[in-house]
Amino acid sequence: MMSTASVSHFSIHGLDLSFHSTSSAISTSAQHHLRYFLQGSLPPPGSLRIIFEAVNHATSIPVTISPTARRLFSRPVEEGGGSTWIDWPCEVSQDHTQLIINFFSRGLLLIDGYAGEARGYLVNPESMHPDLYVRFVHSALVELLKWKKFYTIHATALEKDGWGVLITGASGQGKTTTFLSLLRSGYRCLSDDHPFIHENGNAIEVLAFPDKVNVRENTINLFPELKNAGAFLHQGMTKRYFYVEDLYPAGIGRSCVLKILLFPHVVDQSTSWLEPIPKSQALADLLPHGLLVYNPQVAKQEFQTLTNLVQQVDCFRLHFGRDVLEVPRLIDPILEKAKEHEM
């Protein structure tokens, strides 16, 4: 076993994870990213494992990609280069049970879902913004959890009295603004960006993955508590951000049974309104917001879970007008009706 600078133990909705790293900077960022799940004890045998190492050069990464490995995806260098994650050249390959995500001069992820282990190698992480190696850690975690039937979707999620709302859609269409409007009215945060979806018996649960909430300046200006947040509003790599518990008393939830699926769409109107949409349309709109799945078995299971999710919820297009603080008046009655139906 490799020598490590630290070992941390996390329990993520009942799944034990050990995180090992030779880099104190990566360990610190991982602990902060997963701080809601941090445990004080040592991880039990059989835990999922993520191991990260810092290397000086890409040639120092001790992974050889077999010439027989099957290439699944390739992203070339963007014109003019780029310093953000989405600009990096990337190649994804499958080599037997191992998924290899190669970022070339930046680093590499090696993920074995069957074995429950992921290894990450970052080239000179001290030269990166911490947000970038958090991305590496999160990607490794997401890939491992798929094998345990915990799926991540690009969405915001909130709960109230155990019943939940999932909000997804393209960037700039009001996803985070809708989330904040509900949060300030007494809903609890499950996640602003990547909640977990898990099938528990006959119900689909949405499980919390709380993290910082990224906001643009125009969003900040819509909410008095953000405009006056002072030191609670921090500068990130590309956006400003805050932590829910610093500004909203309802704080963080843990899980919910989903009842409402919203697809916001910004309109130039004074008043917002809801339009029911067919479940077939909702599923078609939801699927692109799931992450890429490279294993056919996992992909089939995730597709079935998302299909079941859509079948158990009310689905709406939220035509999002300028009355951003009034969104709860649209959502609360639907959630109350759903709760009464269950009783």
Residue 2's pLDDT is 45
CA-CA distances (angstroms) from residue 71 to 47, 92, 159, 328?
A: 29, 6, 40, 46
Complete DSSP assignment for 204-267 = EEEE-----EEE-HHHHTT-HHHHT-GGGSEE-SSSEEE-HHHH-TT-B--EEEEEEEEEEEE-
Q: Alpha carbon 328 to chain centroid distance?
A: 24
Domains and CATH numbers, the chain: 6-148 (no CATH), 152-342 (3.40.50.300)
Q: What is the pTM of this model?
A: 0.91
CA-CA distances (angstroms) from residue 137 to 54, 123, 314, 328?
A: 13, 14, 34, 35
Q: Tokens standing for 172?
A: 């700039």
Cα–Cα distance between 43 and 25 in angstroms, integer? 21
Higher pLDDT, 190 or 89: 190
Cα–Cα distance between 35 and 211 in angstroms, integer? 9
Residue 92's pLDDT is 92
- How large is the angle between the packed helices 327-342 and 175-183, nearest 10 degrees? 70
Of 160, 183, 156, 141, which is closest to residue 263 (Cα–Cα)? Answer: 156
Q: What is the DSSP letter of 194?
A: -
Residue 34: which pLDDT band, with cuts at 50, 70 and 90? very high
Cα–Cα distance between 327 and 62 in angstroms, integer? 52
Residue 43's pLDDT is 87
Cα–Cα distance between 36 and 39 in angstroms, integer? 9
The b-or-e profile of 176-188 (16+ CB within 10 A means b, else e) is: bbbbbbbbbbebb
For 152-174, how does the pLDDT look when each residue is reduced to its tens digit (9 = 90+)? 999 999 999 999 999 998 888 88
Q: What is the DSSP letter of 129?
A: -
For 244-298, how does the pLDDT look when each residue is reduced to its tens digit (9 = 90+)? 999 998 889 999 999 999 999 999 999 999 999 999 999 999 998 886 678 888 8
Q: Using the structure block, give the residue that is written with the tokens 């995500």.
A: 101
Cα–Cα distance between 60 and 215 in angstroms, integer? 38
Q: What is residue 94's three-state secondary structure? A: strand
